[in-house]
Amino acid sequence: MARFHLIQVDSVWEDSAATCAQLDRNFESEKPEAGSLVVMPELFDVGFTMNSARAVEHAETTKAWLATVAKRFSVHVIAGVARRGANGVENRAVFVDTNGNENGSFSKLHGFSLAGENKNYRAGEKPVVWEWNVDGRIVKIAPLICYDLRFPEVFRAALNLGAEAFIVIANWPSTRSEHWNALLKARAIENQALVVAVNRIGSDPTLSYVGESQLINPWGEVICKAGAYQTTLITTFDLSEVATARDRYPFVKDRRL
């Protein structure tokens, strides 16, 4: 049984230290169970800033903090951070194992042009699939970031790599909350996959954020969902349901592309 600890945080604007301190206090009252997958939103530590130089300023400190969390609670962690790549700063999701080692990194494929993200962060090249050990069973999970949700071909490419679950981290605004909910459900149904979505809440100098983090099963049913407030969703899911859904209705097997 997979265990999830989904943190819907109000990120402190461009202040990694303050956000991490806030989360440390949350961890004191809501300790994640060992073996859980702890998920935090896109650019969780600084918010959706277009000042990429500021966003990446404390990348090493944030990296060390994530490693400490993973080791302290014996959990895997997926979190959205800014990282400097070979050709510029990237908006990434990182995957940290229970020993605090960063075993995976994914760069957001689609920069949100309406905010100028495509000019301030370098886009990634392709989807990736990570292996998560759940009680001795290897589960293939694919990370996607916010605006990537609007592009179904990316999810299908990850499916072709063997993805059983999609982890969608975001700074999705309140003004488009209906799109958030509809697209998450569609991605679960069309790929017969688990969708784990973690969005921030609160506001920044430009936007307010909807929250509504949630877990959706391969049938498109919402298993649990948060409101528009700071909270942690703690839940479990039997990932064998993915194989069951795909065997019972061979929609994924019948795809031609």
What's the CATH number where 52 sits?
Answer: 3.60.110.10
Q: Label residue 257 by pLDDT band (50, 70, 90).
A: confident
DSSP at 173:
B
Amino acid at residue number 229: Y
In a domain, 217, yes or no: yes
In a domain, 254, yes or no: no
In a domain, 176, yes or no: yes
Tell me how many degrees the CA angle 158-159-165 measures, rounded to the nearest 5: 90
In a domain, 31, yes or no: yes
Mean of per-residue pLDDT scores for the chain: 97
E-strand stretches of the chain:
2-8, 37-39, 76-85, 88-96, 102-107, 130-134, 137-145, 165-170, 194-199, 201-203, 208-210, 214-216, 222-225, 231-237
Each residue's pLDDT tens digit, 35-58: 999 999 999 999 999 999 999 999
CA distance 255 to 185: 19
In a domain, 256, yes or no: no
The residue segments making up the domain with residue 134 are: 2-248
Q: Is the pTM of the predicted complex or chain greater than 0.95?
A: yes
Catalytic residues: 42, 108, 146
- Residues 182 and 212: beta-carbon distance below 8 Å: no
In a domain, 206, yes or no: yes
In a domain, 213, yes or no: yes
Query: CA 167 → CA 19, 25, 55, 72, 182, distances in Å?
Result: 21, 25, 22, 23, 16
In a domain, 253, yes or no: no
Average pLDDT estimate for 94-112: 98
Each residue's pLDDT tens digit, 188-245: 999 999 999 999 999 999 999 999 999 999 999 999 999 999 999 999 999 999 999 9
Write the CB contacts of 108 (distance below 8 Å, at least 6 apart in sequence): 42, 90, 91, 92, 93, 121, 123, 124, 145, 146, 147, 148
- Residues 113 and 129: beta-carbon distance below 8 Å: no
Number of domains in the chain: 1
